[in-house]
A = this chain, B = another copy of it.
């Protein structure tokens, strides 16, 4: 079970008759799904390849997937039905798409130019209706860093952390696709030494660099999902920016956890990179000590080698045409708790998981300087602001700042694939 589960669709030498730049996130080895619309096409499922989008509804209506998956699933306005279809369907569909797009494959799509559009013409939407959104806290470096900041008097890592993939439910209504402006939240905060809190615009607006996965087929209420089968229930992954108002969060979060400090917005990248596409990049995670309880024990490598980075540009930088600055770079491979462990844990009490549920990893931080996934960590709670290329400083986000999260899988012997971008620009607060 430890060998990678590869097929011809992962062949690094396979190329498409559609032109794909060498540095593109979307070569034929990727084939991520998303929901797009154009002036002439209402919302529908697309597959990204290079700078093009394949209109899956058009292909389905032409009968190109008959026998693999029903046309209604591929003609839907969200990916929920495809997420529900399950791994055998996902694999067959991927194989068929790869064959339709490869040099020397089936020529049916080549003869349907109307089934292709350009990324430039398309507006991207949320990939799925997210029934429930769960955010974990699975990087040991992040949990340790935040524990130091929020609970300076105690042990940074709480006693339960190495036993439980700690998580909580977030707000599904405020998950937005990349590009949606982020309004600075109002909220209660209590200044150090103040007797009473005040209400107003957050002054400690932050990001959290995360990777999330969309659930595939769910479980019945009351029936846990064993970890051995967890990967079959993970459709694919996206980049996540869990925007966080640290001042609101610090004042509100005890004893029931983060609420308004997080619920104002969560940005995701619009292209869902499938679990199949990620297979060549599957690696073993860090050794877990103590060994997890049996229901959380891994039976195969289940982390992913994804290089992640965060770019920031200010309004002043854009006005002077200065490129966005890389403020963090890290890897998803070192996460303590894996996606499979997160899912098995979330369903271990019999809670129902539905296709399209989103599970985010929690902030991804590494051990070395510059590899932390949030400003509160990068600046040591604001004590050491970042210096931007134009000389300006940042402890937390200012209005007009734009944050982009990027992700890319790299491994010797395989064609690199990427996630596109999760981007958002900060607007001034309401009123």
Contacts and interface: CB of A to CB of B under 8 A. Distances in A.
Interface of A: 131-132, 134, 137, 147, 150-151, 158, 160, 163-164, 166-174, 176, 180, 183, 185-188, 190, 196-199, 221-224, 245, 248, 251-261, 263-265, 290, 293-295, 345-346, 348-354, 357, 427, 430
Contacts of A255: 147, 150-151, 158, 166, 253-254, 257
A168 B169 contact: yes
A174 B260 contact: no
B164 A222 contact: no
A163 B196 CA distance: 9
A188 B293 contact: yes
Contact of A168 (B168, B248, B353, B430): B168
B186 A264 contact: no
A160 B247 CA distance: 13
A186 B293 contact: no
Given A160-B190, A263-B351, 9 more contacts: A151-B255, A169-B169, A169-B259, A183-B221, A197-B293, A253-B257, A260-B345, A263-B346, A350-B430
Contact of A430 (B176, B187, B222, B293): B222
A251 B258 CA distance: 18
B173 A351 contact: yes
24 contacts: A131-B173, A132-B172, A137-B256, A158-B255, A163-B197, A164-B188, A166-B252, A166-B256, A167-B256, A169-B169, A171-B351, A174-B351, A186-B224, A186-B350, A187-B348, A187-B349, A196-B290, A197-B293, A199-B293, A248-B349, A253-B257, A254-B255, A256-B258, A260-B346
A264 to B, nearest CB: 4
Nearest to A250: B160
Task: Identify which of A163, A169, A354 gathers the most chain B CB atoms within 10 Å of its CB.
Answer: A169
A339 B280 CA distance: 51
A298 B199 CA distance: 16
A186 B349 contact: yes
Nearest to A135: B256
Contact of A294 (B147, B170, B199, B252): B199
Contact of A221 (B187, B199, B265, B348): B265
Task: Identify which of A167, A173, A186 gathers the most chain B CB atoms within 10 Å of its CB.
Answer: A173
Contacts of A258: 168, 256-257
Nearest to A291: B196
B174 A221 contact: yes
A53 B176 CA distance: 40
A426 to B, nearest CB: 11
- 3 shortest A-B CB distances, which residue pairs? A257-B257, A183-B222, A185-B349
Contacts of A167: 256, 259
A175 B202 CA distance: 33
A252 to B, nearest CB: 6
Contacts of A345: 260
A190 B162 CA distance: 13
A224 B430 contact: yes
A29 B151 CA distance: 53
B221 A176 contact: yes
A399 to B, nearest CB: 13
Given A163-B197, A197-B163, A349 B263 contact: yes
Contact of A186 (B169, B199, B348): B348
A350 B185 contact: yes
Contacts of A173: 131-132, 351-354, 357
Contacts of A176: 221
Nearest to A218: B173
Given A158-B255, A196-B290, A349-B260, A170 B172 contact: no
A173 B222 CA distance: 12
A266 to B, nearest CB: 11
B257 A168 contact: yes
A353 B134 CA distance: 18
Contacts of A163: 188, 196-197
